[in-house]
Amino acid sequence: QVPLWHDSRLHGLIGGSAAMRHLFDMLNRFAQSDATVLIQGETGAGKEGVADAIHQCSPRRDGPFVVLDCSAIPEQLFEDQIFGHEQGAFTGAGRATVGVFEAAHGGTLFLDEIGELPLDVQSKLLRAVETRKVRRIGSTKVIASDVRIIAATNRDLATEVNRGTFRSDLFYRLSVAKLAVPALRERREDIPLLVEHFLRQLVATHGALDGVAQLADVARPGVALGARGEVLGQPRVAVG
């Protein structure tokens, strides 16, 4: 029998379907260790929410939850974002800056869309993942970081490994535990629960709604139902 979570909610995640309650149960189990977790799912499936829930369920919940969106960083800035730099390390480096490993010390580092990392940066990230030690750009000092790592991707990284676009050793380091987030079209029974949740949020923010016209006014860019019955426009909350 597939283990199911006892509720339809877990730290901001909502879903009464068997698929989601199974995800909640696995998520809570993984949260109790420091094992690196790889979250797989389509864009918009809620991977960051799953990562945040793992953090909130874990013994690290009182520590920082730092997000690095690998799809939103110019290629030349990846190394700086991950490792940080010392003052004067390069032109324009007017002050020292910590990278995400240092910022997440004592908590959780979430590497979103990890499949977007260039190969040369992957090799440097691998060493940090293996040792939990980093060195800022322009420094010889090695800094230890007590951090739990969660990564997410909308790609099939096993396929990317076979293509040679993602390092196999990094893939295996990141996928000690794996979670797959089902798309909403695969769990349509959750749509009424989600719509009710979003409507409650709207009412809490805007007061009682008199009709569809007023709902349309306050919902932009809030909740909409797409042609396939998917809930669209859920706001993305950056945590870090």
* Structure confidence by residue, pLDDT tens digits, 114-144: 999 999 899 999 999 999 999 999 999 999 9
SS3 assignment, position 199: helix
CA distance 212 to 128: 52
Mean pLDDT of the chain: 85
SS3 assignment, position 112: strand
State residue 8's pLDDT score: 81
| Contact of 113 with 148, CB cutoff 8 Å | no
Interval 198-219: pLDDT, tens: 788 777 777 765 655 555 555 4
Mean pLDDT check: name the lowest of 60-69, 142-151, 200-209.
Answer: 200-209
Which tokens sit at 169? 């050793």
Non-local (6+) Cβ contacts of 137 within 8 A are: 79, 80, 83, 84, 85, 86, 89, 90
- Other beta carbons within 10 angstroms of residue 22's beta carbon come to 16
Mean pLDDT of 67-82: 90
Mean pLDDT of 15-29: 91
- Other beta carbons within 10 angstroms of residue 208's beta carbon come to 6
Mean pLDDT check: name the lowest of 52-56, 70-74, 103-107, 217-221.
Answer: 217-221
Going from the C-alpha of 19 to that of each of 2, 16, 56, 71, 102, the distances in angstroms are 10, 8, 21, 27, 35
CA distance 172 to 158: 9
Q: Is the pTM of this model over 0.85?
A: no
State residue 161's pLDDT score: 96
State residue 145's pLDDT score: 94
Asked if pLDDT for residue 236 goes beyond 60, the answer is: no
Backbone angles phi, psi at 109, to 5 degrees: -110, 120
Residue type, 81: Q
| Between residues 72 and 216, the one the model is more confident about | 72
CA distance 52 to 70: 17
Among 237, 44, 64, 62, smallest CA distance to 150 is for 64
State residue 229's pLDDT score: 39
State residue 216's pLDDT score: 53
Backbone angles phi, psi at 38, to 5 degrees: -110, 120
CA distance 65 to 47: 14
Going from the C-alpha of 175 to that of each of 38, 152, 168, 214, the distances in angstroms are 5, 10, 11, 46
| Between residues 213 and 2, the one the model is more confident about | 2
State residue 9's pLDDT score: 84
Residue type, 160: E
- Other beta carbons within 10 angstroms of residue 2's beta carbon come to 9
Backbone angles phi, psi at 204, to 5 degrees: -65, -30
Asked if pLDDT for residue 84 goes beyond 50, the answer is: yes
CA distance 160 to 74: 21
